[in-house]
């Protein structure tokens, strides 16, 4: 965490004395790392804005606050979005900066107490939205190389070739289900072609 924000904190320290008056939705960059209950921090860049996600935890819930920061406005960081979650505990927060998308991925325990359930927040139409949630082990992977990763939900043990995978495709600024296929076929040319047809003309029938 310190390594990621070393440069930002240096700017903040240098400019703190000359900081302009801020609204109640603004904080200094260095203050974000002192948030009560801090569990994790991640950042992505969209255009000239760096977005910093701050994960805090209380006994009642988990909160993800996302701040926007421009170099010209340092050391101020403006609160953009806040998401509260009352479900099972979170385990990690990571940045998603993959091709044409930017956002944050949260992993948490499932009802059975094991690690893997997934939440994804993307920057869409000028704000952050929760675009994906699954209680299964899931990951983002760009199967067809178009810059928009598919959401893959594993229905079984990933080490087992007979495991089935539910594929959701990013279309019209949201994830839409394509279908469920055997893990052994996940990276085949047939699946890539099926995704392309779905993107251009809608959902095509295929093996489930």
According to the 3-state scheme, what is the secondary structure of 11-36? HHHHHHHHCCCCCCCEEEHHHHCCCC
In angstroms, rounded to a whole number, what is the distance separating the alpha carbons of residues 32 and 26? 10
Do residues 70 and 49 lie in contact, with contact meaning Cβ atoms separated by under 8 Å? yes
Over the stretch 87-104, which tens digit does the pLDDT of each residue have?
888 999 999 998 899 999
Whole-number pLDDT of residue 17: 39
Whole-number pLDDT of residue 108: 85
Detail the DSSP E strand segments found in 23-149.
26-28, 38-46, 49-57, 62-69, 76-85, 90-98, 101-109, 115-124, 127-134, 137-141
In angstroms, rounded to a whole number, what is the distance separating the alpha carbons of residues 97 and 66? 15
Over the stretch 20-31, which tens digit does the pLDDT of each residue have?
334 456 678 788
Radius of gyration of the chain (CA): 19
Whole-number pLDDT of residue 129: 96
Whole-number pLDDT of residue 16: 43
Both ends of the chain: CA-CA distance in Å?
42
Which is nearest to 130 in space by CA: 79, 194, 188, 173? 173
Percentage with pLDDT > 70 across the chain: 81
Whole-number pLDDT of residue 26: 66
- Residues in the chain predicted with pLDDT less than 50, given as ranges, are 2, 4-5, 7-9, 11-23, 113, 204, 207-208
Whole-number pLDDT of residue 23: 41
């Amino acid at each position: 965490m310190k390594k990621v924000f070393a440069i930002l904190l240096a700017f903040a320290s240098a400019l703190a004395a000359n900081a302009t008056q801020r609204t109640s939705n603004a904080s200094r960059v260095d203050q974000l790392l002192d948030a009560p209950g801090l569990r994790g921090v991640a950042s992505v860049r969209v255009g000239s804005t760096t977005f910093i996600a701050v994960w805090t935890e209380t006994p009642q819930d988990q909160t993800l606050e996302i701040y926007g920061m421009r170099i010209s406005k340092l050391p101020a960081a403006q609160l953009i979005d806040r998401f509260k979650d009352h479900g099972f505990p979170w385990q990690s927060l990571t940045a998603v900066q993959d091709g044409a998308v930017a956002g944050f991925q949260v992993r948490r325990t499932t009802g059975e107490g094991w690690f893997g359930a997934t939440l994804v927040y993307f920057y869409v139409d000028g704000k952050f939205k929760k675009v994906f949630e699954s209680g299964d082990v899931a990951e983002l992977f760009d199967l067809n190389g178009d810059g928009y990763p598919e959401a893959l939900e594993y229905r079984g043990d990933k080490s087992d070739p007979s495991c089935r995978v539910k594929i959701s495709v990013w279309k019209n600024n949201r994830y839409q289900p394509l279908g469920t296929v055997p893990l052994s076929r996940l990276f085949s040319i047939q699946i890539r072609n099926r995704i392309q047809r779905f993107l251009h003309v809608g959902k095509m029938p295929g093996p489930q």
